[in-house]
Every structure is written in structure tokens, then in C-alpha cells.
Amino acid sequence: MVERPHVPVLLDAVRECASAAAGEVWVDCTLGFGGHSEALLQAGARVIGFDRDAAARAYATDRLSPHAERLTIVASDFRRLPTVLAELGVERVDGVLADLGVSSWQLDQPERGFSFKAPGPVDMRMDPAAGEPALALIERSSTAELADVIRRYGEERFAGPIARAIRAWVEGAGPHDTHTLAQAVRDALPKREAAKRKIHPATQTFQALRIAVNDELGALEDLLAALPEVLAPGGRALIISFHSLEDRLVKHAFAEWCGKAGHAPAPPRGLPPPPSAPAAFEAVTRKPRVGSAAEIEANPRARSAKLRAVRKRRAA
């Protein structure tokens, strides 16, 4: 059993933006250790929770046992959301919540390979029983392909030198663990650049590899595509992101749903603009909600968290 779960971020903001009520049906796309789901259940809602991590599901099952009659835990990626709802006989839901961050507990487990604090296998899979580990991805990728992954998903300015260093690392004698990989990345940067960074020089590269291994942005795109259909009128969608790539996708999708993405071309001179169709959604958060100074001090993981929320309009 997990002894020290991570603390859910932006919990008060989630409660406020969700406004969950008794009798509602909510989906927690990233159940984790149940912190956000617990708040929804305490409000009287039914929760369908998705998580690929067996350890997280076991902990959440125990933690949320007082609400077991209103909790369904699904051992799956949230990409299967529409299919799972159909299998459960649920046509529409009143809310969907997704916390896209990797939990502190996962980061603290060397055997998962997400972090370089201690040596561990270069794995990085959210579901250790499925998919391709990061080391296998590195082994089959060319230098150019690695550079593209690091540049695209890590927004790393030194993607080229880092990719060349990783190829040399994986072709070398080893050991091929997270510690030596992080050192190879650090050594690829100019010393002045590595010294001035506020975070470990390998952080962006590890993020890029993790995103690629788990196809995290593809999964988020699939979720965003499904949300308008699975939400009932009045339903809320809440998404917490932790880096700009995720937040950009969420921001643009929500803006489009709320009728604020781009502008129609100007009408011919002398003619009034055509009436615009009413937007299907309205914003719950005009700007992303972020952690307070007190929360960030208590839970540093909240520093980069942003919560955006929208509500599906009811028919006029």
C-alpha cells in the first residue's frame, strides 16, 4: 500500500469551479490517490475515476471506501472515456475533471524512471505493464528524431546537442539508468547555461521523453474532442495543466467552445456583420486559477499548476 500520497493541487479552486452537487455524475480522468475525487464525493456526487496505475487505484479504493457505493474505478486511460461511459450505461455526465500532472509519489519512485533524484530504469510509463519504456524509444530513435522530441515536447533550446549526447550515452557501455542519462544531458549543455538554470538541466528533456512515451498530448487532444459530447447541458469541464504545451491546447479548445477563437472576416462595406451563432459553452474561469502563495509554500508542486474551467450552456 502507498504510504505517502501526493497532495492534490488547487483543491479549493476545484471545489469552487466544480460546484458538484448530490446526484450529479462526475468523471475524474486522473484519479491518482483520490484527493480531487474525495471532494466530489463529499459533495454527494457519483464519481467514475480513471487511472492506469495499479498502485494509485489500490490506494484510492481504500481512501474512498466510505463512498464506495457512489464510486466506480476504471483501470484505463481516459482516452476510452466515451466507450467506458457507454459500457456503464451513462449517456451524459455533469462534470469532467482532469489533473494532468505526474504525482509526487510517482516521481519519488526510482523504479518508475520519471525522476533522476536516484538511479532507476529509464522507463517513464504511466502504466508499467503496457507500452514502450523510454529506453526503448531512445534506442530505436535517430539523433534527429530525438532532437525533434526534445525540442517539441520539452521546448529545449539545446535539443540538438542533447540528442547527440543521448545517442552517445545509449551506445556506450552504461549503466543506462536515469542518473547517468541526466548527467549526459547536463554535460551536453554549455557550462554557463547549465549553471544559470533554476531547474535541473535535464528536467525539460525528461519531460519530453515522458510525454512522448505516454503520448500525453495525443491523449489530451482526444479528451478535448470527446468533452462537448459527453457533457450534459450545464456540465462543467475542469482541466489542470502543468506546462505550456498542455495549457495551450486547453486554452485554445475552451476559447473555441466559448466562441472566442479568432474572428470572422469583415462583411462587405455597408453591410452589417452576420449574426453569430450562440456559443455552446461559457467560461467558468476568465483567467486560469493558480495556487496561492500559502498553497505553493505548503505544496511546491502547485507552483506550475493552472486550472481552466468551462460550462456547457443549457438550451434556451
The total domain count for the chain is: 2
Check pLDDT > 70 for residue 141: yes
Let me know whether 61 and 201 are in one domain.
no
Let me know whether 190 and 151 are in one domain.
yes
Let me know whether 128 and 168 are in one domain.
yes
* Residue 5 lies inside a defined structural domain of this protein: no
Let me know whether 180 and 121 are in one domain.
yes
Beta strands in the chain (DSSP E): 25-28, 46-50, 71-74, 93-99, 231-241, 281-283, 306-312
We report the CATH number of the domain holding residue 243 as 3.40.50.150
Let me know whether 96 and 51 are in one domain.
yes
Check pLDDT > 90 for residue 315: no
* Residue 70 lies inside a defined structural domain of this protein: yes
Give me the percent of the chain exceeding a pLDDT of 70: 92
Rounded (5°) CA angle 139-140-143: 85
What does the pLDDT average to over 67-90? 96
Check pLDDT > 80 for residue 108: no
Let me know whether 35 and 74 are in one domain.
yes
pLDDT of residue 38: 97
End-to-end CA distance of the chain: 50
Which of 214, 288, 230 lies closest to 254 in space, CA to CA?
A: 288
pLDDT of residue 260: 86
Q: Which residues pair with 73 in a beta bridge?
A: 49
What is the domain extent for residue 209? 115-214
* Residue 4 lies inside a defined structural domain of this protein: no
pLDDT of residue 135: 97
**Within the chain, what is the greatest distance between any pair of CA atoms?**
74
Let me know whether 249 and 182 are in one domain.
no
The pTM assigned to this predicted structure is 0.90
Let me know whether 120 and 202 are in one domain.
yes
Let me know whether 95 and 222 are in one domain.
yes
* Residue 3 lies inside a defined structural domain of this protein: no
* Residue 299 lies inside a defined structural domain of this protein: yes
Let me know whether 300 and 153 are in one domain.
no
We report the CATH number of the domain holding residue 193 as 1.10.150.170
Let me know whether 30 and 90 are in one domain.
yes
